[in-house]
Every structure is written in structure tokens, then in C-alpha cells.
């Protein structure tokens, strides 16, 4: 899995006001916690770029150095939660979780699709990725940065499920193994419905009346004439 290093600072001033001022200069407020610690932090621009390089992955091990703790070793942490600005999608807050490299953890690992599906290439189907990550359990350093799924042989009407993923023996998949990861379906045909132009009369279907059999009418007239003569 990915393993990166960052430096952070302890944050003394708390509250919305100080946090807002930090964000204005590109520094992100954060917190790091575990069962035996909880400390407010600020993440400088340089460290934020490092986190962005791994797309703020939850499965990346981060060796965190707290600048004020001189002489202390870095601590291994994971990103537990990250908040974004709903308007411009910039990071507004990060929660770090301190972990032990000797204890199993549960994290979400992203799924990466590989190859071009036959269903799309040869059959003009539509490929849909239903699941973009799975939850796994294992030792931090054993957890892969992502899981690849080869969709090359996938044709219309077929899917790939979680149970078909290949993971290291030391890793256990927590997500429902019957869940669908990716599927290929046929394109839906567009039904074009004619819409009448405004002001244009809608023509009613012509009703064709069935013509009476002329020979039958002639026979009827002949019978009536015969009766009249008889009378």
C-alpha cells in the first residue's frame, strides 16, 4: 500500500473563526485521535499536496510528524474522514486516526477497472461501475492501495461481483461478496414520438366502411318484384 510522510502543526486556537482564517491562507484544520490521544492540528499547504497526490486515500499509511514534538518519532495514521466545501470542493477539515502497524484495521479500498470490455467494444453495450470501493480488514501494511478488476472479457448481460476479486491471503473482504462491481448492458433504443405542431389539425384515422355486396342487393330487389306480380 501507499506510505507517505507529512508534517503538521499543533493548533492552539479552536472554533470556526480561527479555522476560517487558516483556510484563507491554504492551511487546513485537522484532528488526530485514537483510544489514548486527541490533538488538534493544522495541515500546511506542502503536506496537503502530498495527501492530494494519493487522492486522500483512506488506505494510505501516513507517517505523521508533529513539528512541536521534537525528538519524537513519527506516528502512523490513516485518513478517517475528510470534509469538502460543497461549492468548490476544496478540503475544509481532515480527521486522522492513529493506528498500530501490528493490529488489524478496517478500511475502504478503491476499485480500479482495467481493460476495454468486449461488450462495449464489439457489441456497443454500456459499461456501468456500480461499486467503486470495498471494505477490507487486515494489517495496515498488508492492505493494497487499490484492487484491479479486468473487464476485458465482460460482455452484454454479464457482471463481475465482489467474490471474484483477487486479494492477498492476509486480507479479508468485509463488503457483501454478492455485491455487483461492474456490469454491461445493451443500449436502450430511443422511442421517437411524433408531437403535433401547434395549430396543426390532428388527422383522425380514416374509417373505411365496408361496401355492401351489390349482388345481394340485386337479389333482394328481384324477390320484391316477384312478390308484387304475384299479388
**Local confidence band at 42 (pLDDT 50, 70, 90 cut-offs):** very high
The residues, any chain, with a CB within 8 Å of residue 112's CB and separated by 6 or more, are 146, 147, 148, 149
Q: Do residue 2 and residue 91 come from a single domain?
A: yes
Domain edge (last residue) among 77, 99, 121: 99
Q: How do residues 136-154 score in pLDDT, each as one tens digit?
A: 999 999 999 899 999 999 9
Q: Which of 31, 77, 87, 89 minimizes the C-alpha distance to 50?
A: 77
Comparing 71 with 178, the larger pLDDT belongs to 178
**Local confidence band at 226 (pLDDT 50, 70, 90 cut-offs):** very low
Given a cut of 90, whether residue 222 has pLDDT beyond it is: no
Distance CA 92, CA 83 (A): 6
- Residue 165: its pLDDT value, please? 95
Question: In whole numbers, what is the pLDDT of the chain averaged over residues?
Answer: 85
Q: Do residue 155 and residue 81 come from a single domain?
A: no
Which domain, by its residues, includes 49? 1-99
Given a cut of 50, whether residue 229 has pLDDT beyond it is: no
Q: Do residue 95 and residue 115 come from a single domain?
A: no
Q: Do residue 40 and residue 65 come from a single domain?
A: yes
86 assigned to some structural domain: yes
User: Cell numbers of 149, please?
Assistant: 478488476
Q: Do residue 109 and residue 95 come from a single domain?
A: no
Distance CA 80, CA 210 (A): 80
Q: Do residue 111 and residue 169 come from a single domain?
A: yes
Domain harbouring 170, CATH code: 2.170.120.20
Domain edge (last residue) among 69, 99, 129: 99
Domain harbouring 47, CATH code: 2.40.240.10
Q: How do residues 87-111 score in pLDDT, each as one tens digit?
A: 999 999 999 999 999 999 999 999 9
For 57, other C-beta atoms within 10 Å of its C-beta total 22
Q: Do residue 94 and residue 7 come from a single domain?
A: yes
26 assigned to some structural domain: yes
Amino acid at each position: 500500500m501507499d506510505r507517505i510522510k507529512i508534517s503538521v502543526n499543533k493548533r492552539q486556537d479552536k472554533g470556526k473563526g480561527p479555522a476560517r482564517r487558516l483556510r484563507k491562507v491554504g492551511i487546513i484544520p485537522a484532528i488526530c485521535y485514537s483510544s489514548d490521544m486527541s490533538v488538534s492540528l493544522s495541515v500546511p499547504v506542502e503536506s496537503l499536496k502530498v495527501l492530494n497526490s494519493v487522492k486522500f486515500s483512506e488506505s494510505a499509511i501516513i507517517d505523521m510528524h508533529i513539528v512541536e514534538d521534537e525528538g519524537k518519532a513519527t506516528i502512523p495514521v490513516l485518513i478517517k474522514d475528510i470534509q469538502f466545501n460543497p461549492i468548490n470542493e476544496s478540503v475544509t477539515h481532515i480527521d486522522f486516526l492513529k493506528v498500530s502497524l501490528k493490529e488489524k484495521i478496517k478500511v475502504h479500498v478503491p476499485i480500479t477497472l482495467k481493460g476495454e470490455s468486449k461488450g462495449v467494444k464489439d457489441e456497443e453495450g454500456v459499461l456501468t461501475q456500480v461499486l467503486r470501493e470495498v471494505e477490507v480488514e487486515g494489517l495496515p501494511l498488508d492492505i493494497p492501495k487499490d484492487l484491479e478488476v479486468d473487464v476485458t472479457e465482460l460482455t452484454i448481460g454479464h457482471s463481475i461481483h465482489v467474490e471474484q476479486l483477487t486479494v492477498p491471503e492476509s486480507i479479508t473482504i468485509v463488503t457483501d461478496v454478492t455485491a455487483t462491481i461492474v456490469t454491461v448492458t445493451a443500449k436502450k433504443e430511443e422511442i421517437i414520438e411524433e408531437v403535433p405542431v401547434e395549430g396543426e389539425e390532428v388527422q383522425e384515422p380514416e374509417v373505411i366502411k365496408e361496401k355492401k355486396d351489390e349482388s345481394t342487393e340485386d337479389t333482394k330487389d328481384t324477390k320484391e318484384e316477384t312478390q308484387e306480380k304475384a299479388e
